[in-house]
Each structure stands twice: as C-alpha cells, then as structure tokens.
Structure 1
Amino acid sequence: MNKIVIAMSVLGAVAFAGSASAEKLKATLDAKSEVPATTSSGTGTADLDYDAASKKLSWKVTYSGLSGPATAAHFHGPAEPGKNAGVAIPIPGAATSPAEGSATLTDAQAADLLGGKLYVNIHTAANPGGEIRGQVTK
C-alpha cells in the first residue's frame, strides 16, 4: 500500500512540474512596430508555447495584408521595443500563413524570450528589413 501511495505522489509531482514549466507567450505584429515604421497595412499574431524543462519553443505565426509574399521571418533579439537586433531564431516556412514550427533554445535565448527581448519580424521584397513586427510578451 505504501509503495502505491509513494508512486502516485511521485507521478502527481512529475505531472505538476511538467505543467508548471509551460509558458504561453504572444506577439502582435504591425507596421508601426517596425524600426523604422513602414506604411504596410499588414497585421499578424504569433502564438507561442515555451517549455522551460526542455527549452522547446513552439509557434504559430499568422499574418495578412502584406505588400507581397513574405520572403523570410525570424525571431530577432535581444532588443527592447524600438530597437533592432540580429536574427536569433529563423522561422522556416513563413512564405505562407500560418507558419508553424519549433526550436530548442539556448540558455541565452530562453532568458531573452522570457525577459521580453525577442521580437517576431516578417520580411517582404518591398520591405527587406521587415514589414511587420511584434515584441514577444507573456
């Protein structure tokens, strides 16, 4: 009987720990957030799940209204809103919306993600530096 109680306690603790490490994050993408701002009427969202135990970031990026097809998309950072930074994590398959994927983050990338220092940027031929952008927030 004691072995069953202990096993159930351990399983409950593992299940609780697994769910406690998951973070839901989001980015709202628009032209005014670009640096410098663009005149695009494009908009988008990025819905993100981050599992701290495995350091796995999963995303679904949806956008519309761009000046043309997306040529690339990335997470950039580290940078606060209003600042630019280099590519931190590529978003493959962003030529079509929605773009879904995942990546395993480094410790530094995980700290930047949870610290609000990553942003999502969608690039087009007319706006190669980025057409719409959104800061990742909790």
Structure 2
Amino acid sequence: MNKALFATLALGAAVAFAGPASAEKLKATLDAKSEVPAVTSSGTGTADLDYDAASKKLSWKLTYSGLSGPATAGHFHGPAEAGKNAGVAVPIANIASSPVEGSATLTDAQAADLLAGKYYINIHTAANPGGEIRGQVMK
C-alpha cells in the first residue's frame, strides 16, 4: 500500500511541477517583394520566434542583411494577411544592427492574431521609410 501511495504522490508531483508545454515555434522570411507596395532592395532577413501561451511571452531573434542603409525601425504589424498592411502591434527595439533579440508580452487578442498567421515583421530604412523588407509570421 505504501508503494502505491508513494507512486501516486510522485506522479502527482511530477505533473504539478512539470513546466508548460514547449513554446510554439514560429518563423518569418523577410524580403523586399513582400512589402506592400513592393520595393527594390536586395535585403533579406529571417526571424525565429517562440511563443509561450502560459506566460503570453513572444521572444524573437531577427537577422537581416543587404539593406539599402541602416535599419531605422522594425515592428510586428497586424492583424493582416500577406499582401495587406496593418498598424504597429509590437515594436522591435535596438534594430540598428543584426542580429536583434527581444521579447514582449502579448494580449490575448495579439496572441490569437499571431498564431493565426496575421502578423508580419518589417524593417524600415531611410530610403524605404514604409518598410524595406517584410515577412509574414507563420508556424
């Protein structure tokens, strides 16, 4: 009986102290042809993102190269499907040099739009203040 009780308690403790399921993995591939309207640039970029539903924390590592000049701003925009524009949802700080790492805590609505593929990332430059490269965030 003691062994059964101990096994039950151990299993209960393991479940209680187990961390949340692994973060949702997302990715974006940025290029100039995805901007709306499209721009001429040889710039490219990638973003690897993790979203933890338990804490609502979005973390990212964004790399880019080949821009027409220094990056002046970067943002997550949404909600919008590919080919559509939307306002800034989450700013990306310290965008001036690649790679860029950061995180933000999302609202429930932001998280739903992110996971539904309705967020995109774009990076702005002086030559392309509306955005030089853009990529839709996808699972």
Name the TM tier (shorter chain): over 0.9
Counterparts of 1:1-80 in structure 2 under 5 Å? Answer: 1-2=3-4, 4-14=6-16, 18-20=20-22, 22-80=23-81
Alpha-carbon distance in 1 for matches of 2:14, 2:69? 50
Q: Which sections of structure 2, spanning at least 5 residues, go unmatched?
A: none
Partner of 1:19, secondary structure, is coil
- 1:14 Cα deviation from its structure 2 partner: 4.5
Larger Rg: 1 or 2? 2
RMSD: 1.5
Alpha-carbon distance in 2 for matches of 1:55, 1:78? 17
Q: Which sections of structure 1, spanning at least 5 residues, go unmatched?
A: none
- 1:15 Cα deviation from its structure 2 partner: 6.2
Partner of 1:18, secondary structure, is coil
Q: Percent identity?
A: 75
Aligned residues: 137
- 1:10 Cα deviation from its structure 2 partner: 2.9
Q: Which moved more, 1:51-60 or 1:8-17?
A: 8-17
Query: CA 1:71–1:3 in 2, change beyond 3 Å: closer, same or farther?
Result: farther
Alpha-carbon distance in 2 for matches of 1:16, 1:115? 27
Query: CA 1:11–1:24 in 2, change beyond 3 Å: closer, same or farther?
Result: farther
Alpha-carbon distance in 2 for matches of 1:68, 1:16? 46
Aligned match of 1:100: 101
- 1:3 Cα deviation from its structure 2 partner: 5.0
Q: TM-score, normalised by structure 1?
A: 0.93
Q: Which contiguous aligned blocks of 4+ residues in structure 1 show a shift greater than 3 angstroms?
A: 1-4, 14-17
